[in-house]
Homo-oligomer: A and B are copies of this chain.
Amino acid sequence: MNKLLVVGTVAFDAIETPFGKTDKILGGAATYISLAASQLGVKPAIVSVVGGDFPKEYLEMLENHTIDISGIEIIKSGKTFFWSGKYHNDMNTRDTLATELNVLADFNPKVPESYKNADVLMLGNLHPLVQLSVIEQMTEKPNLTVLDTMNFWMDNALEELKQVIAKVDVITINDEEARQLSGEYSLVTAAKKIMKMGPEYVVIKKGEHGALLFYDDQVFYAPALPLEEVFDPTGAGDTFAGGFAGYVASTGDYSYNSLKNAVIYGSSLASFCVEKFGTERMQQLNKAQVLQRLEQFKTLTQFDIQLS
């Protein structure tokens, strides 16, 4: 079985949407990524850190989803990273109400020996220096390294981020971040510029408008499934990345055609994530539901024009 290594946050989130609010619930990029990837029949391993306040049940739940948690360091005297946010009525924008780094402030990632030769490395959104440390701990260069990041690091750690970008095969960012990183408004031009910074593939996430995969002079457009109701967008981008990385890890096929399918898997899993608060929907998901949703994606986009 191909190995997928995931570095990212494992966290507490408190979320408020127009549909309700939660107390502290399970969150974090690595959590969403791994839960999504576990749907693809791979065994993801998480590298992360939590505090002594992190419930054992959460760790057990991750293990029950065939996720290797040996790389999650538990700092008994510390507190788990906490984020709190409130979504606006359009669900596309949100205010951060609280960010408490806690044990994440001094996070020094340690890759388990057995995953230093992982086939796919998924760098979840984190400080670029943490991502860099994980890249450097790998004894073999992964077949595919995927980077997820955000505008916060472009504002606050651009030089470090550029070092990471130079070392990865795929970058996933949203449209505004692609524009910020490249200084170009056109996403086509932006993707071309970003490719010159390192990655062979650029994935631009457009939320409800789907995702674009750029490679060389080519482009693939995966739509998002139009949903009657988005309950909670938290983790959708991470779930997308997890489905993407999980798919390529499961197939061991790193071609452009395979990465197209990976984008569809990512979009498909993300469409589940937003149906309930936090990780709730992803915890309950089964293979039959995933296959049915993939069929919907086919129906959504496939047409049959005979060109003569």
Q: Which of A89, A294, A300 has the most chain B CB atoms closer than 10 A to its own CB?
A: A300
Residues of chain A in range 225-283 having any CB-CB distance to chain B below 8 Å: 226-230, 257, 260-261, 264-265
A70 at the B interface (CB under 8 A): no
| A295 / chain B contacts, CB cutoff of 8 Å | 307
Residue pair B89, A185 in contact (C-beta under 8 Å): yes
Residues from chain B with Cβ under 8 Å of A187 in the complex: 226
Bin chain A's interface residue count. Answer: 35 or more
Question: A189 near B228 (CB under 8 angstroms)?
Answer: yes
A74 close to chain B: CB less than 8 A:
no
Contact digits for A82-123, partner B, Cβ 8 Å, 1 yes 0 no: 000000011000000000000000000000000000000000
* Interface of A toward B, CB cutoff 8 Å: 89-90, 185-189, 206, 209-210, 212, 218-223, 226-230, 257, 260-261, 264-265, 291, 294-295, 298-305, 307
Known: A219-B300, A301-B303. 13 other contacts (CB 8 A): A186-B229, A210-B210, A210-B221, A210-B223, A220-B300, A220-B301, A221-B226, A221-B301, A223-B301, A261-B303, A264-B305, A294-B307, A301-B301
